[in-house]
């Protein structure tokens, strides 16, 4: 069972370049999330999706775009890369809400992005 | 303004002893709290959670305590094992109208268990 997969693992971009971070999950989860983690900091939510065709902004959405055309895939697009977007990006997914609140998000291994 | 704070960046504990990781929060509207563990070069993995209406939840060697009046929670690991060495993130969840929820993470505490 692959769980949540992310590609690429590492990437170096020049300022102004664009790229798409790929995320896929094989657990048929409706909810998917994109986070970034800066050095010494906690994870911050960029965008999330509650199902195919439905996305919404998180805490730090500026400079990013997302789409969700299928349940499995949730790509994150950087249009004009800036040094401030140097970070580790994590994709996560979650199943249906449980009444006991024990929901867990399943995280991918991350993409380490450097913008120079 | 950090809504979830982990004030200890690191903690060292002898193998077999208790590890206590602390977390403070400022928003009394959080619905529940979660702990995640993270090894280097991997994504976080879920460890244990607690609803805001409870004060304790236990799962094997891991117990989370919630003190709502103090807006404080703690994770106890007993006994600590070398494999527990990792960064531990405290997270707080609020449920959105769309049925999803948003997690707010602390900065993490790096636990080192010394054999």
Contacts of B21 in chain A (CB under 8 A): none
Contacts of B108 in chain A (CB under 8 A): 42
Residue B26, by phi and psi: left (phi above 0), alpha (psi -120 to 50) or beta?
alpha
Contact check, Cβ <8 Å, B49/A102: yes
Look at residue B98 in the predicted model and tell me its pLDDT. Answer: 66
Contact check, Cβ <8 Å, B106/A42: yes
* Residues 6+ positions from A57 with CB-CB distance below 8 Å: A47
Look at residue B70 in the predicted model and tell me its pLDDT. Answer: 96
B30, B47 in Cβ contact below 8 A? no
Residues in chain A: 116
pLDDT string in tens for chain B (115-residue length): 689 999 999 999 999 999 999 999 998 889 889 999 999 989 999 999 999 999 999 999 999 999 999 999 999 999 999 999 999 999 998 877 666 778 899 999 999 999 9
Look at residue B94 in the predicted model and tell me its pLDDT. Answer: 85
Cis peptide preceding A78, ω within 30 of 0:
no
Contact check, Cβ <8 Å, B105/A105: no
B4, B91 in Cβ contact below 8 A? yes
Q: How far is B68 from chain A (nearest CA, A)?
A: 16
Rounded CA separation A97/A101 (Å): 7
Look at residue B97 in the predicted model and tell me its pLDDT. Answer: 67
- Please say if the pLDDT value at position A52 is more than 70: yes
* Residues 6+ positions from B100 with CB-CB distance below 8 Å: A31, A48, A50, A56, A94
**In chain B, positions 3-32, which contact chain A (CB-CB < 8 Å)?**
4, 9, 31-32
**In chain B, positions 44-73, which contact chain A (CB-CB < 8 Å)?**
44-46, 49-52
Measure CB to CB from residue A56 to each of B9, B46, B98 and give the nearest one: B98
Rounded CA separation B99/A35 (Å): 19
- Does B39 lie at the interface with A, CB-CB under 8 angstroms? no
Contact check, Cβ <8 Å, B34/A104: yes
- Please say if the pLDDT value at position A62 is more than 70: yes
DSSP per residue, chain A: ---EEEE-SEEEE-TT--EEEEEEESS--SEEEEEEE-TTS-EEEEEEEEETTEEEE-S--TTEEE--SSSSB--EEESS--GGG-EEEEEEEE-SPPTTS---PEE---EEEEE-
């Amino acid at each position: 069972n692959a769980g949540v997969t992310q590609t690429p693992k590492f990437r170096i971009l020049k300022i102004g370049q664009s790229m798409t971070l790929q995320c896929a999950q094989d657990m048929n989860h409706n909810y998917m999330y994109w986070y970034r983690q800066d050095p010494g900091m906690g994870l911050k939510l960029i965008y999330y999706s509650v199902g195919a065709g439905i996305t919404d902004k998180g805490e730090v959405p500026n400079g990013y775009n997302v789409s969700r055309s299928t349940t499995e895939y949730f790509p994150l697009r950087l249009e004009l890369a800036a040094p401030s977007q140097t970070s580790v990006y994590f994709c996560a997914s979650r199943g249906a809400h449980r009444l006991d609140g024990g929901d867990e998000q399943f995280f991918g291994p991350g993409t380490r992005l450097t913008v120079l | 303004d950090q809504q979830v704070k982990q004030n200890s960046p690191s903690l060292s504990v002898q193998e077999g002893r208790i590890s206590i990781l602390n977390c403070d929060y400022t928003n009394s509207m959080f619905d529940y709290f979660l702990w995640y563990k993270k090894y280097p070069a991997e994504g976080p993995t879920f460890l244990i959670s607690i609803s805001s209406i409870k004060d304790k939840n236990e799962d094997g060697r891991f117990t989370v305590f919630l003190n709502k009046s103090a807006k404080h929670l703690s994770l106890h690991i007993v006994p600590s094992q070398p494999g527990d060495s990792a960064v531990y993130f405290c997270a707080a969840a609020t449920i959105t109208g769309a049925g999803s929820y948003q997690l707010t993470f602390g900065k993490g505490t790096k636990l080192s268990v010394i054999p």
